[in-house]
């Protein structure tokens, strides 16, 4: 379901969907990955013994893993397993009570860490797009660049429109989110995150709110990002995407990392009975 935009005074009348005459293009090639400040051999994401509680309820238990530069790691598991909570801890959208997370050499749980600056280096794409409905697509792409990174309006617009072209949506720059399909809105959300020049991209079930026919267009963009060398952690149930793109698969259950394996090992010979049971159900459909 798309949200109804709040038109600006000179905004065009919204309509129910994208103009079928305006064909989308694929992700174009271009400079994407900013230089990392992490030392040679240092992981881009290091999660060490992270535990988290909501009151007396423990949602994460001693989670430890590494994500190397350019690596794509898919995090999967049943609903309520803690996978979305874990990925939100990476850029401190969720606080954690025990352990430590480092992103590109910066400790997340450190009083000296500037969290807004850290988050500007960590792109985040959510399940429900989180676009501003009253702003045009161009304004959605530029507002954080101007306010957080201090870019001029001209520079922010140039960067935003370049990335909009990369996700194949140049023709929709002056529209409002409610005038786009769900898949198109999610691609705008990806472009918005990339406009901040992140060194890491986090995806929290980016296709679960989409109609089935729109899933492919979003996954295609993510596949191209992976091929470009973007470091990615992706929470998803899309096992086809995991098999095609992931370097590793993390399987979680009841707040614990049960398996952390290469995709070939995970799909070919999962070690834990719980992962075997999960795969037998999810791959049978």
Domain count, the chain: 2
Distance between CA atoms of residues 227 and 242, nearest Å: 14
Domain boundary residue, one of 198, 214, 239: 198
Domain boundary residue, one of 146, 164, 198: 198
The pLDDT tens digits for 212-270 are 888 888 999 999 999 889 999 999 988 889 998 999 999 999 999 999 999 999 999 88
Distance between CA atoms of residues 133 and 240, nearest Å: 32
Global pTM?
0.84
Q: Are residues 265 and 175 in the same domain?
A: no
What pLDDT score does 36 carry? 60
Give the DSSP H/E element, type plus range, for residue 73: strand 72-76
Instruction: Name the packing angle between helices 153-166 and 182-194 (round to 10°).
Output: 130
Q: Which residues pair with 45 in a beta bridge?
A: 67, 103
Q: Are residues 113 and 205 in the same domain?
A: yes
Q: Are residues 194 and 213 in the same domain?
A: no
3-state secondary structure of 114: coil
Domain membership of residue 29 (yes or no) is: no
How many CA within 13 A on the CB side of residue 41? 0
> Nearest to residue 158, comparing CAs of 148, 172, 145?
145
Residue indicated by tokens 């791959």: 283
Domain boundary residue, one of 183, 198, 213: 198
Q: Are residues 208 and 190 in the same domain?
A: no
Q: Are residues 182 and 250 in the same domain?
A: no
**Residue 215 contacts residue 207 (beta carbons within 8 Å):** yes
Q: Are residues 189 and 65 in the same domain?
A: no
Q: Are residues 96 and 167 in the same domain?
A: no
The pLDDT tens digits for 67-117 are 999 999 999 999 999 999 999 999 999 999 999 999 999 999 998 998 888
Q: Are residues 60 and 109 in the same domain?
A: yes
Q: Are residues 113 and 217 in the same domain?
A: yes
What pLDDT score does 8 carry? 41
- pLDDT over 60 at 148, yes or no: yes
Q: Are residues 54 and 98 in the same domain?
A: yes
CATH no. for residue 86?
3.40.50.300
Give the DSSP H/E element, type plus range, for residue 248: strand 248-253
Which domain covers residue 229, as residue numbers?
49-121+199-283
Distance between CA atoms of residues 39 and 122, nearest Å: 18
């Amino acid at each position: 379901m798309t949200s109804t935009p709040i038109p600006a005074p000179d905004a065009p009348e919204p309509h129910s969907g994208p103009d079928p005459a305006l064909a989308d293009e694929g992700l174009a090639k271009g400079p994407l990955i900013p230089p990392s400040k992490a030392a040679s051999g240092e992981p881009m994401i290091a999660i060490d013994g992270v535990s988290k509680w909501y009151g007396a309820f423990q949602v994460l238990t001693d989670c430890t893993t590494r994500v190397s530069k350019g690596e794509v790691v898919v995090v999967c598991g049943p609903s309520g397993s803690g996978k979305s909570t874990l990925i939100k801890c990476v850029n401190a959208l969720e606080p954690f009570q025990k352990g430590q997370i480092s992103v590109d050499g910066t400790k997340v749980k450190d009083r000296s860490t500037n969290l807004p600056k850290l988050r500007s280096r960590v792109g985040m794409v959510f399940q429900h797009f989180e676009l501003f409905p009253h702003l045009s697509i161009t304004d959605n792409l530029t507002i954080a660049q101007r306010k957080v990174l201090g870019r001029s309006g001209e520079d922010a617009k140039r960067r935003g429109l370049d990335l909009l072209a990369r996700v194949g949506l140049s023709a929709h720059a002056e529209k409002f989110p409610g005038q786009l399909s769900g898949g198109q809105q999610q691609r705008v959300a990806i472009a918005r995150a990339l406009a901040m020049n992140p060194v890491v991209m986090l995806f929290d079930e980016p296709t679960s709110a989409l109609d089935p026919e729109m899933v492919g267009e979003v996954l295609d963009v993510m596949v191209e990002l992976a091929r470009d060398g973007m470091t990615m952690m992706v929470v998803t149930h899309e096992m086809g995407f995991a098999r095609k793109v992931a370097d590793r698969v993390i399987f979680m259950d009841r707040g614990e990392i049960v398996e952390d394996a290469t995709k070939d090992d995970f799909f070919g010979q999962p070690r834990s009975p719980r992962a075997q049971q999960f795969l037998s159900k999810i791959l049978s459909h």
